[in-house]
């Protein structure tokens, strides 16, 4: 199968990232953490396969994730955690909106 026929494969679990709302790459793009110039070559992951990032999503449509160890948000500064939750959850809400309204990739960033 040609690489372009494979879809986006998660670099962690190897399975296809079927929906944009599962995409760590597109959430990071919306948040401005991925340059548009490298979007097409950047590594993809399911959000659940990047728990140290996804643990900050606080939304009823996203299952709560817990991380054990040094990067567990329960062990970090509460002010830092609150800020990260606000930022990443806002990005996730935008990702849901993009999926629902089928907004083109060029219009994804807020």
pTM, 2 dp: 0.86
- For residue 55, CA distances in Å to 2, 13, 24, 76, 104 come to 34, 18, 12, 12, 27
Is residue 64 within 8 A of residue 51, CB to CB? The reply is no
User: Average of pLDDT values for 8-32?
Assistant: 94
Residue 2 has pLDDT above 50, yes or no: no
pLDDT score, position 87? 97
The tens digit of pLDDT for each residue in 22-71 reads 999 999 999 999 998 998 899 999 999 999 999 999 999 999 999 999 99
pLDDT of 27 reads 95
Residue range 79-105, pLDDT digits in tens: 999 999 999 999 999 999 999 998 877
Residue pair 86/80 in contact (Cβ under 8 Å)? The answer is no
């Amino acid at each position: 199968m040609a690489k372009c026929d494979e879809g986006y494969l998660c670099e962690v679990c190897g399975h296809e990232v079927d929906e944009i709302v599962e995409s760590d790459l597109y959430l990071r793009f919306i948040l401005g953490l991925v340059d548009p110039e490298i979007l097409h070559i950047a590594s993809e992951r399911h959000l659940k396969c990047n728990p140290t990032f996804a643990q900050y999503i606080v939304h009823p449509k996203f299952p709560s994730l817990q991380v054990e160890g040094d990067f567990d948000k329960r062990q970090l500064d509460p002010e830092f955690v609150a800020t990260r939750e606000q930022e990443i959850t806002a990005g996730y809400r935008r990702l849901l909106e993009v999926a629902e309204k089928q907004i083109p990739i060029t219009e994804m960033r807020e």
